[in-house]
Amino acid sequence: MLSEDKYFRDLTEAKLWQRYCGFLDLSIDEFMDIQEELLMDQIERVSDSFLGKKIMNNCKPKSVEEFRHIVPLTTYDDYEPYLSEKRENVLAVKPHMWCHSAGTGGRFKWIPHSSEFLEQVTKRCLASLILATCGGQKGRVNFWPGSRFLLIIPPVPYASACMFQALAERFSFKAMPPQEAVQSVEFRERIRGGFQMALRDGVDIMGGIGSVIVKIGEEMGGQARGMKFSPAMLDPRIVARLLRALICSKREKHVVTKGYYGWWSGYCHLSRRYRALLGY
């Protein structure tokens, strides 16, 4: 059992909400007190490192006000000579993982992550998932270990994939497609394989970069009429799921275009009511 799974096993729904989303009940003053405490803790940690001394001008601020006065605003360019070469000796803590951004102009921005940071990322990911699936109901938790995740993300070491990898090391879920099996597969084929699995086995949560999801939606709309069924689409589970989606979409008066992506669109348009009736 992974580290976060036990909380879903042992805690009530109300306590799970409090563990991951309790910050929503903080007042502004309470929130700021926590942020100031965290800032001072980080100053303590990095003050003796090479980069810490460089950015803070060999000083160690003793308060938030002093930090604001001493430490200049920085950009990635201030750190790039060290991070692009992954120079761990300039950091305060040895990284557990290196990841990079999508990059602009062919240039990646490399980012070191500590084990402690990844622990916090996992909690923030779970908080985001709870808020995204609660249907606006405070205290509601609508997913559990073993949920099926359709992941529209690039491979490691892209930052989004690293975040999901950190989550997978601490919380059990079924990735669609399995990330370790598609590391060398072209991104478009990864997405196609994930949608195929989702149609066959069902899906609980879809996660990905917003801009990528929008792009895929646009491509679906443009390609829907030209797509045809493949032999894989004859799987009885897929046929039954698509037929039910078509019926429900007709009832709800959604426009369902022809082709592979049109049928997928019909499935995605199932209302909460019909999904509950059909067991999705």
Higher-pLDDT residue of 158 and 14 is: 14
Q: Does residue 173 form part of some domain?
A: no
- Over pLDDT 90: what percentage of the chain? 52
Burial class for 225, CB neighbours closer than 10 Å (0-12, 13-18, 19+): exposed
In the predicted model, what is the mean pLDDT of the chain?
Answer: 82
For residue 271, pLDDT beyond 70: no
Domain of residue 99: give its range.
Answer: 26-109
Q: Where are the beta strands (DSSP E) in the chain?
A: 97-100, 110-113, 147-152, 173-176, 205-208
User: HSE-up of 156 (CA within 13 Å, CB side)?
Assistant: 14
Residue 279 has pLDDT above 50, yes or no: no
Distances in Å between the Cα of 236 and the Cα atoms of 124, 148, 215 are 38, 20, 30
The band of 261, judged by pLDDT with boundaries at 50, 70 and 90, is very low
Any domain includes 200: no
Total domains in the chain come to 1
pLDDT, tens digit, 9 for 90 and up, residues 35-48: 999 999 999 999 99
Q: What are the CA-CA distances from residue 33 to residues 163, 215, 248 (Å)?
A: 27, 40, 50
- pLDDT for residue 211: 75
Q: What is the pLDDT of residues 119-139, one digit of tens each?
A: 999 999 999 999 999 989 999
In this prediction, what percent of the chain has a pLDDT beyond 70? 78
Indicate whether 228 belongs to any domain.
no
Exposed, middle or buried, 57 (CB in 10 Å: 0-12/13-18/19+)? exposed
Residue 155 has pLDDT above 80, yes or no: yes
Domain-embedded: residue 185: no
Express each pLDDT in 197-239 by its tens digit: 887 888 888 887 777 777 766 665 554 444 455 666 566 776 7
Assigned domain for 81 exists: yes
Residues 216, 221, 226, 229: what is their CA dihedral angle, to the nearest 10 degrees?
Answer: 70
149 is a domain residue? no
Q: Is residue 144 domain-resident?
A: no
* Residue 63 lies inside a defined structural domain of this protein: yes
Structure tokens at 79: 């750190």
pLDDT at residue 28 tops 80: yes
Q: Looking at residues 161-169, what average pLDDT do you find?
A: 91
pLDDT of residue 67: 94
Calculate mean pLDDT across residues 112-122: 93
Task: State how far the Cα of 178 lies from the Cα of 186, in Å rounded to an integer.
Answer: 14
What is the predicted pLDDT for the residue at 232? 60
Q: What is the pLDDT of residue 249?
A: 66
Integer-rounded Cα Rg, in Å, for the chain is: 23
Q: Cα(7)–Cα(280) distance, rounded to whole angstroms? A: 25
User: Under 8 Å CB-to-CB from 119, ≥6 apart: which residues?
Assistant: 170
